Homo-oligomer: A and B are copies of this chain.
Amino acid sequence: PSEDLAQERKRATFDVQELSYALNGGKEMLDKKHRFAEILAKTTWGDKSRRYFLTREEEYVGGLRAALGIWEKIKSEGLSLEDGALMRSLVDFPGGLELHIGMFIPSIMSQGSKEQQAKWMPLCMGLQIIGTYAQTELGHGTFIRGLETTATYDKQTQEFVIHSPTLTATKWWPGGLGKTATHAIVMARLMVEGPDGRMKDHGPHGFIAQLRDMDTHLPLPGVTIGDIGPKLGFNSVDNGYLSFDHVRIPREDMLMRFSQVTPEGRYVPPPPSNSKASYATMVFVRADIVKNAGSTLARAVTIAVRYAAVRRQTAPAPGERELQNCAATLLPLLAAAYALTFMGDAMMAMYRQFEKDRDRGDFSALPELHALSSGLKAVCTWITADGIEEARRTCGGHGFSRLSGLPTLHQGYVQNVTWEGDNNVMCLQTARYLIKALAGVRSGKAVSGSADYLNAAASELAPGARSPATCDACWEQPDVAGGALRHAAARATAAAAETLLAAGGGRLAFEGKPWNDNTVESIRAAKAHCAYVLHRTFLDSLAALFALDTLERGGGLAALLEDGFVGASQAAALRRCHRQLLAALRPNAVGLVDAFGLPDYLLNSALGREDGDVYRGLLDMAAASPLNATQEGPAWEGVLKPVLAAQPRSRL
């Protein structure tokens, strides 16, 4: 198989190394990635040879050891935070510190007062405490306004009393909460006595609560904590549950940067700029998710494309082992991996630009940025989650083996469609923006940014509008393929606006029954918009393949035909062009995945090895399976022997 892969590499029609440098931020960065991979593979906590064989408890302990190992390395070798992040992505072993690093520290930095930062940051950075972020409850996730946990201010003692009034108020899901975290930022409804002597509910606010005794690591009195049990994936993280029975924390431990409760019990609400700041944070987080979606899909595609190149099954003639159905799955995914990678970079650039604008007091880009990042968070994580599984299935039986790396990759990724804003809910944010923007355009208010094509919605959607495609190859042109995506997006937004208007009795209602009864059309609009934006971020034939594939799969073509924007012969040309693109891209497939520059250490896959020696890889990795610890296996003595040996064996 190794020679097959070498042969494939020769077919590339572009300079793989150049592209690889460009994708990885230069030769130096690429070299560093590979150097780090070598170093990490040799550490006890970074070694991956037994990663697929661990029990849940071993995974949990291993994930923590890895995080602490990296933390230690950063300190002892004085590495940068970027280097640390690179190491974490290579070791690829999430653990009980995820939320400490990803949410607890950032929340203190962004929502804590100067004094709070001075108090808590040294404890955080010195790992004297480990924090998590506890928002979701058993009964309430997406619907944050429904949270039931309360923090009631007690003027007498100047403390907050944190309490879980019901079973459904139990916090559920926070990472690291189960067995690791000593502290948590707890989102709870702030209850303060008003001037009229009645308790007033100010809605969810953040509080820093200590959960465990620092010496024994046991839960403090009034605090009930546990692990929520095994999950689809992500099992090295101890997601936990937590309930409070009237637990008191000092007044100073409410996060006080934006809203406060004074010692005498007066509530100071946050300034309006607060919500803008938190939107900005979300944009950043989502840009990161998009970037990550690209690199994760790149991993899956690297494995599957390399394996497809060596899977011969002793085909009678060499040409006969090319299967159109496998290529038709893998090449569009390869295009998508590039699209997502570029989109992540583009979003980061938009975010940086926004930061500059903001420092000049200009927040005007924020609504668009927020809407766009919401929809892209959803669309990109869907593409990646589903794409890993599609890629896995092209590997046949061996894709079902954990040694291929693909099952674990999928199981550790798919929660991205749910957390950080459920994807459907994210799409609805984008849809709300789009529908409002279209309504604005129709009443004479122009829109700028990624939805600016809506300014021309009237002509775009006029009965006579037609795609300019006049030949098969026309569909490779960015303006034709992109134009079709644009038309599909404009049309979807208009359709969603129309059903919403009808449901609201002539009024655009953005909540309640009319809104909830029309989420399907709205989500469709957000998806179509994001597909168009994704297509705009990258060039050449990969982009065309991405566009045509999106139109063919997503029902976009049906919409264009229904509109008369595309006629029957244009649609037929589109499909022929799609097939021609697949054939044209085929020789570059291995080169394009090689260009991602993913070390074998990261892939941890018998099928995706750079050298193509997949069958040797499967055998070697399987030999270490715990079931192989003995020849006769763990059921022999207690279970099988009594049965098999019960009868006379003379006849055998």
Contact = CB atoms under 8 A, between A and B. Distances in A.
Interface of A: 52-53, 55-57, 60-61, 64-65, 68, 96, 123, 126-130, 136, 138-143, 146, 148, 167-168, 170, 172-173, 178-180, 182, 210, 212, 214-219, 225-232, 234, 238, 241, 312-315, 317, 319-320, 322-325, 328, 389, 392-393, 396-397, 399-403, 407, 411, 414-415, 417-419, 422, 424, 512-513, 516-520, 523, 552-553, 555, 557-558, 561-564, 568, 571-572, 579, 615-616, 618-619, 621-628, 631-636, 638-641, 643-645, 647, 649, 651-652
Nearest to A651: B123
A138 B519 contact: no
Contacts of A178: 627-628, 633
A564 B558 CA distance: 12
B324 A518 contact: yes
A324 B517 contact: yes
10 contacts: A56-B627, A139-B312, A139-B313, A142-B313, A146-B314, A179-B634, A214-B649, A219-B631, A226-B625, A558-B558
A568 B558 contact: no
A379 to B, nearest CB: 15
A571 B322 CA distance: 37
A490 to B, nearest CB: 16
Contacts of A414: 400
Given A57-B626, A140-B313, A639-B61, A229 B402 contact: yes
Given A313-B146, A513-B320, A626-B56, A618 B519 contact: no
Given A130-B640, A226-B622, A324-B518, 16 more contacts: A52-B229, A53-B229, A57-B626, A60-B633, A130-B644, A139-B615, A146-B315, A178-B633, A179-B636, A180-B635, A214-B645, A214-B652, A229-B621, A232-B401, A552-B555, A562-B571
**Which 4 A-B residue pairings sit nearest by Cβ, starting from the closest?**
A179-B633, A146-B314, A143-B313, A561-B561
A212 to B, nearest CB: 8
Contacts of A618: 138, 172, 228
A572 B568 contact: no
Contacts of A68: 639, 643
A118 to B, nearest CB: 11
So how many copies of this chain end up in the complex? Answer: 2
Contacts of A328: 520
Contacts of A615: 138-139, 167-168, 170
A124 B568 CA distance: 61
A323 B173 contact: no
Best-surrounded residue of A140, A143, A552, A624 (most CB of chain B within 10 A): A143
B418 A65 contact: no
A294 to B, nearest CB: 21
B635 A60 contact: yes
A87 to B, nearest CB: 18
A148 to B, nearest CB: 7
Nearest to A178: B627
Contacts of A241: 619, 622
Contacts of A52: 229-230
Contacts of A518: 324
Nearest to A424: B325
Best-surrounded residue of A123, A214, A618 (most CB of chain B within 10 A): A618
A602 B639 CA distance: 25
A604 to B, nearest CB: 13
